[in-house]
Structure 1
Amino acid sequence: MAANGSAAAGEGEAEETAHNLPALIFGVLLIIVIICGNLLVCLSVFTEKALKTTTNYFIVSLAVADLMLAVLVLPLFVYSEFQDGVWTLSTSLCDGLMTMDVMLCTASIFNLCAISIDRFIAVSIPLNYNRKHVDLRQAVLLSATWVLALAVASPIMFGLNNVPGRDPTECKLENDDYVLYSSVCSFFIPCPIMLLLYCAMFRGLRRWEEARKAKLRNSIQACRKLQEAAAGLPPLASLPPLLPPIIEREPTDTPDELPAFPAPDLPPAPSEYRDTHLRTVSLAEIKFNPDPRRKKRAKINSRERKAMKVLPVVVGAFLFCWTPFFVLHTMRARCQGCHVPPALMSVVTWLGYVNSALNPVIYTVFNTEFRNFFKKVFQRCCS
Structure 2
Amino acid sequence: MDVSNLRENGLYNTTSETNTNLTEMSVVRGPIVVPMYQQAIIITMYSIIICLSVFGNSIVCYIVFSSRKMRTVMNFFIVSLAMSDILMAVLCIPLTFIANLVINSWPFGETMCPIVSFIQVVTVFMSSFTLVAISLDRYWAIVHPLRQKMTKQQACIVISVIWLLSVAIPLPTAIKARVHQYVNDSNAPYFCEELWENVTGQSVYNVLLLLFQYFFPLTILVFTYGKIILVLWIIKTPGEAVSDRDKRISISKKKIIKMMIVVVIIYAICWLPLHVITIAGDINKTFYNLPGMNIVWTASHWLAMSNCMYNPFIYCWMNAKFRNGFIKVFRCVTCGLPKPPRGIEMQQLRYHQSGAISVGNSFTTPYRSSSSNSEYTCLNGKYSGIAVSRGCRNTTVRFC
| TM-score between both structures, scaled by the size of structure 2 | 0.66
Task: Give, in angstroms, the shift of residue 42 of structure 1.
Answer: 0.6
Task: Give, in angstroms, the shift of residue 366 of structure 1.
Answer: 0.6
Task: Give, in angstroms, the shift of residue 90 of structure 1.
Answer: 2.9
| 1:161 and 2:182 matched | no
Identify the residue that residue 279 of structure 2 maps to in structure 1.
330
On the 8 A contact 1:38/1:67 being kept in 2, the answer is yes
| 1:15 and 2:36 matched | no
Cα distance 1:35–1:210, how it changes in 2: closer, same or farther (>3 A)? same
Task: Give, in angstroms, the shift of residue 82 of structure 1.
Answer: 5.7
On the 8 A contact 1:104/1:149 being kept in 2, the answer is yes
Q: 1:83-98 to 2 correspondence within 5 Å?
A: 83-98=102-117
Identify the residue that residue 39 of structure 1 maps to in structure 2.
58
On the 8 A contact 1:109/1:187 being kept in 2, the answer is yes
Return the alpha-carbon distance in structure 1 between the equivalents of residues 234 and 35 of structure 2. Answer: 63
Cα deviations by residue, 1:113-154 (Å, 9 ceiling, x for unpaired): 1111111111122233436x4143x33322222122112211
Q: 1:1-383 to 2 correspondence within 5 Å?
A: 15=33, 20-81=39-100, 83-130=102-149, 133-136=151-154, 138-158=155-175, 160-161=176-177, 169-174=190-195, 175-206=202-233, 210-211=237-238, 215-216=241-242, 249=243, 253=245, 257=248, 300-339=249-288, 341-383=293-335
Return the alpha-carbon distance in structure 2 between the equivalents of residues 90 and 58 of structure 1. Answer: 35
- Other structure's SS at 1:31 match: helix
Return the alpha-carbon distance in structure 2 between the equivalents of residues 345 and 172 of structure 1. Answer: 17
Return the alpha-carbon distance in structure 1 between the equivalents of residues 148 and 86 of structure 2. Answer: 29
Kindly tell me the number of residue pairs found equivalent between the two proteins: 294
Return the alpha-carbon distance in structure 2 between the equivalents of residues 13 and 304 of structure 1. Answer: 53
**What 5-or-longer segments of structure 2 have no aligned partner?**
1-26, 184-188, 196-201, 336-400
- Other structure's SS at 2:274 match: helix
| TM-score between both structures, scaled by the size of structure 1 | 0.69
Cα deviations by residue, 1:263-320 (Å, 9 ceiling, x for unpaired): xxxxxxxxxxxxxxxxxxxxxxxxxxxxxxxxxxxxx554333211210000000001
| Larger Rg belongs to | 1
Task: Give, in angstroms, the shift of residue 109 of structure 1.
Answer: 0.7
Q: Aligned partner of 1:381: which letter?
A: V
Return the alpha-carbon distance in structure 2 between the equivalents of residues 342 and 369 of structure 1. Answer: 42
On the 8 A contact 2:129/2:162 being kept in 1, the answer is yes
On the 8 A contact 1:24/1:81 being kept in 2, the answer is no
Return the alpha-carbon distance in structure 2 between the equivalents of residues 16 and 199 of structure 1. Answer: 46
On the 8 A contact 1:65/1:107 being kept in 2, the answer is yes
On the 8 A contact 1:112/1:315 being kept in 2, the answer is yes
Return the alpha-carbon distance in structure 1 between the equivalents of residues 45 and 106 of structure 2. Answer: 19
- Other structure's SS at 2:286 match: coil
Task: Give, in angstroms, the shift of residue 14 of structure 1.
Answer: 8.3
**What 5-or-longer segments of structure 1 have no aligned partner?**
1-7, 217-248, 258-299
On the 8 A contact 1:179/1:333 being kept in 2, the answer is no
Return the alpha-carbon distance in structure 1 between the equivalents of residues 32 and 275 of structure 2. Answer: 33
On the 8 A contact 1:50/1:369 being kept in 2, the answer is no
Deviates more, 1:65-74 or 1:176-185: 176-185
Identify the residue that residue 290 of structure 1 maps to in structure 2.
none
On the 8 A contact 1:120/1:198 being kept in 2, the answer is yes
Return the alpha-carbon distance in structure 1 between the equivalents of residues 212 and 101 of structure 2. Answer: 31
Return the alpha-carbon distance in structure 2 between the equivalents of residues 192 and 108 of structure 1. Answer: 15
On the 8 A contact 1:21/1:82 being kept in 2, the answer is no
Pairwise CA RMSD: 2.9
- Other structure's SS at 2:288 match: coil
- Other structure's SS at 1:29 match: helix
Return the alpha-carbon distance in structure 2 between the equivalents of residues 365 and 310 of structure 1. Answer: 9
Cα distance 1:177–1:186, how it changes in 2: closer, same or farther (>3 A)? same
On the 8 A contact 1:152/1:185 being kept in 2, the answer is no
Cα distance 1:57–1:208, how it changes in 2: closer, same or farther (>3 A)? farther
Identity %: 26
Cα distance 1:344–1:333, how it changes in 2: closer, same or farther (>3 A)? same
Task: Give, in angstroms, the shift of residue 108 of structure 1.
Answer: 0.5
Task: Give, in angstroms, the shift of residue 332 of structure 1.
Answer: 1.6
Cα deviations by residue, 1:70-106 (Å, 9 ceiling, x for unpaired): 1111121232256343333334422221111111011
Q: Aligned partner of 1:37: which letter?
A: G
Q: Aligned partner of 1:348: which letter?
A: S
On the 8 A contact 2:107/2:190 being kept in 1, the answer is yes
Task: Give, in angstroms, the shift of residue 31 of structure 1.
Answer: 1.1
On the 8 A contact 2:42/2:102 being kept in 1, the answer is no
Identify the residue that residue 385 of structure 2 maps to in structure 1.
none
Return the alpha-carbon distance in structure 1 between the equivalents of residues 118 and 298 of structure 2. Answer: 19
- Other structure's SS at 1:337 match: helix
Return the alpha-carbon distance in structure 2 between the equivalents of residues 381 and 211 of structure 1. Answer: 50
Cα distance 1:162–1:84, how it changes in 2: closer, same or farther (>3 A)? closer
